[in-house]
Amino acid sequence: MSSKFKGKHFLTCQDWSKQELDTVFETASDLKQKFANETPTRYLQDKTLFMIFFEQSTRTRNSMEAGMTQLGGHAHDLTADKMQLSHGETPKDTAIILSRMGHGIASRNCFYGIGNEYLSEMAKNSTKPVMSLQDDIYHPFQGLADLMTIFEHLGKNTKNLKVTVSWAYADTHSKPLSVPQTQILLFPRFGIDVTVAHPKEFPLSKNIVEKAKKNAEEGGSSLKFTNDMDEAFEGAQVVIPKNWGGFGHYDVNEYLQNEDECKKEMKANLEKYKNWICDDKKIKLADKNVKLMHALPADRGNEVTDEILDDPNISIVFDEAENRLHTAKSIMSLTM
């Protein structure tokens, strides 16, 4: 596939214009149709993608690896313990070497205060496109899949569509801020009115919120915040209940210098909000045709009840998950 995007990094949707993103969605829709029809799309014949995972993954790893296979190429599934990263090799050196051996580099590094800097350093030194599979600030592939799913279910005219992004209780681990931050940055650019609900101890990063407010102003949309989950759900046409850690409550340097103490405080704060769950009571506050979205894996019974998550009239989470494949293939085929 010949493309003006060849070699362009994909670290955040923020670096791509709305017009460029429109092309990404058009390409993803075309690839999805061809996948359904079993029409070959070997646009990356014999090309290689290096994937470096510092964390576990289901949707991201498989969407990228399956996507590369379907595009005619091959993806190397790498982890730090399989590479010299475990012995201190720098992101600069890693990027220089891998970009000489293949055609693209993709990495997930969600360590707070570290991940985005790591990917950015690779991008500075790679001669091939570097793609973020999620870091501590952004999760651009998830944002693309989310918006593609909204287009499919609610139409491409998203002006004044009411979407609620809400913190929800979960006790599995302190999840990154990257998913909700990507959503509040991306959705308002397409005219979507976004309401964010979170307890006061679980804010998003201030600098991201300021960027998102600017995006909303430029996109002719609104971005509102509340500490009341019920208030946020009222009249919402799409609800996205998802846990995230309290990292935004701390300065990055403060967190890195006092990580153990901060984690202990976050855990104590977490236990105050077990009632922040998307259940039948919350859903009844929303629009009668409300749709539920979630990046998955959902913490069932904590973030959202099985009753809601498995309701085919409400939940579109599996369409959202499938669209991770098609949007991944779109970005790879355009940039590689």
Q: What is the pLDDT of residues 272-284, one digit of tens each?
A: 999 999 999 999 9
Separation of alpha carbons 302 and 279, rounded Å:
9
State pLDDT tens for residues 84-112.
Answer: 665 678 999 999 999 999 999 999 999 99
pLDDT of residue 86: 59
Q: Report the distance separating Cα 155 and Cα 149, nearest Å.
A: 9
Q: Among 82-91, 103-112, 156-165, 255-264, which is the least confidently predicted range? A: 82-91
User: How large is the average pLDDT for residues 201-230?
Assistant: 98
Shared domain check, 152 and 100: no
Residue 51 lies in a domain: yes
- Average pLDDT of the chain? 95
Can you give the pLDDT at residue 2? 63
- For residues 150 and 134, membership in a common domain is answered with no
Are 127 and 44 in a shared domain?
A: yes
Q: Is the pLDDT of residue 315 over 70?
A: yes
What residues contact residue 230 under an 8 Å CB cut-off, 6+ apart? Answer: 282, 285
Give me the domain span that covers residue 165. Answer: 142-321
Residue 1 has pLDDT above 90, yes or no: no
Q: Quick one: CA dihedral 327, 330, 335, 336, positive or negative?
A: positive
pLDDT band at 58 (very low <50, low <70, confident <90, very high): confident
Residues 130 and 76 in one domain: yes
What CATH number should be reported for the domain holding residue 36?
A: 3.40.50.1370
For residue 170, the 8-state DSSP code is -
Query: What is the side-by-side order of every strand in the sheet holding 104-109?
Result: 74-79, 48-53, 104-109, 130-135
**Both structure tokens of 195:** 């309401």
Query: What is the rounded distance in angstroms from the CA atom of residue 224 to the CA atom of residue 184?
Result: 10
- Tell me the mean pLDDT in the region 153-181: 95
Q: How many domains does the chain have?
A: 2
The yes-or-no verdict on residue 173 having pLDDT over 80 is: no
CB 41 within 8 A of CB 34: yes
Whether 197 and 308 map to the same domain: the answer is: yes
Q: Residues with Cβ < 8 Å from 19, sequence gap 6 or more?
A: none
